[in-house]
């Protein structure tokens, strides 16, 4: 069993270790913004729909069961947060995953919920 003086030293060492590893406030704000961006169920559906490759808005609407206006709004949020990217092909705009790390998180969450 540790004495209170030893426990104090251990706790101080842990705090020091945490402080060394702590990201900057700007990085933490960016992390929170990304979590917020994927926290809405329809956005998660969109990400899952795009997990196999790019789709146009019409096909995303079909895949997620949403209307064009609502899906476009969610796509803009995901794009503004650099989670999705888009490219024009003729008259269509095709959307795809820009940040594969987000998809790793989404897939891990899905696996976790299925356990």
Half-sphere exposure of 52 (CA within 13 A, CB side): 7
Helix (H, G, I), strand (E, B) or coil at 97: strand
Q: Which residues 6+ apart lie within 8 Å of 110 measured at CB? A: 48
pLDDT for the residue numbered 115: 85
Is the confidence at residue 3, as pLDDT, over 90?
A: no
Rounded CA-CA distance 32/17 in Å is 22
Phi, psi of 96 (to 5 degrees): -150, 170
Is the confidence at residue 86, as pLDDT, over 70?
A: yes
Q: What is the pLDDT of residues 41-68, one digit of tens each?
A: 999 999 999 999 999 999 999 999 999 9
Question: Residue 36 is encoded by which pair of tokens?
Answer: 């917020």
Mean pLDDT of the chain: 93
pTM score, two decimals?
0.82
Question: Residue 32 is encoded by which pair of tokens?
Answer: 């929170």
């Amino acid at each position: 069993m540790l004495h209170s003086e030893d426990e104090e030293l251990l706790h101080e060492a842990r705090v020091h270790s945490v402080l060394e590893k702590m990201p900057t406030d700007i990085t933490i704000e960016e992390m929170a913004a990304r979590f917020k961006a994927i926290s809405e169920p329809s956005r998660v559906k969109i990400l899952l729909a795009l997990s196999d490759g790019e789709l146009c808005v019409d096909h995303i609407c079909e895949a997620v069961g949403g209307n064009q206006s609502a899906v476009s709004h969610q796509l803009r949020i995901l794009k503004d947060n650099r989670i999705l990217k888009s490219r024009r092909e003729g008259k269509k705009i095709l959307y795809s995953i820009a940040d594969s790390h987000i998809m790793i998180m989404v897939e891990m969450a899905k696996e976790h919920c299925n356990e």
